[in-house]
Amino acid sequence: MKTLLQKLVRLRNPNFSLDDSLDTLALVQFFWIQGLTIIRGLFVVFYFKKAKGLMLGKAVTFFNPSKIHWGRFLRLGNYVAISALGKNGIWFGDNVSVGAFSRIIISTSLNNLGDSIIIGNNVGIGEFAYLGGAGGLEIGDDCIVGQYFSCHPENHNYKKNKILIRHQGVTRNGIMIGKNCWIGSKVTILDGVEIGDGCVIAAGSVVTKSFPENSIIGGVPSKLLKSRL
d(CA 32, CA 145): 26
To 10 degrees, the CA torsion angle through 184, 185, 190, 194?
20
The C-alpha angle with vertex 219 and arms to 214 and 225, in degrees rounded to 5, equals 40
Catalytic status, residue 69: no
Give the burial string for 22-52 (b: 16+ CB within 10 Å, else e): eeeeebeeeeeeeeebeebbeebeeeebebe
Catalytic site residue from 69, 152, 156, 167: 156
The DSSP result for 87-132, as a single string, is EEEEEE-TT-EE-TT-EEES-S-SSS-EEEEEE-TT-EE-TT-EEE
d(CA 134, CA 101): 20
d(CA 113, CA 106): 8
Residues serving a catalytic function are 156
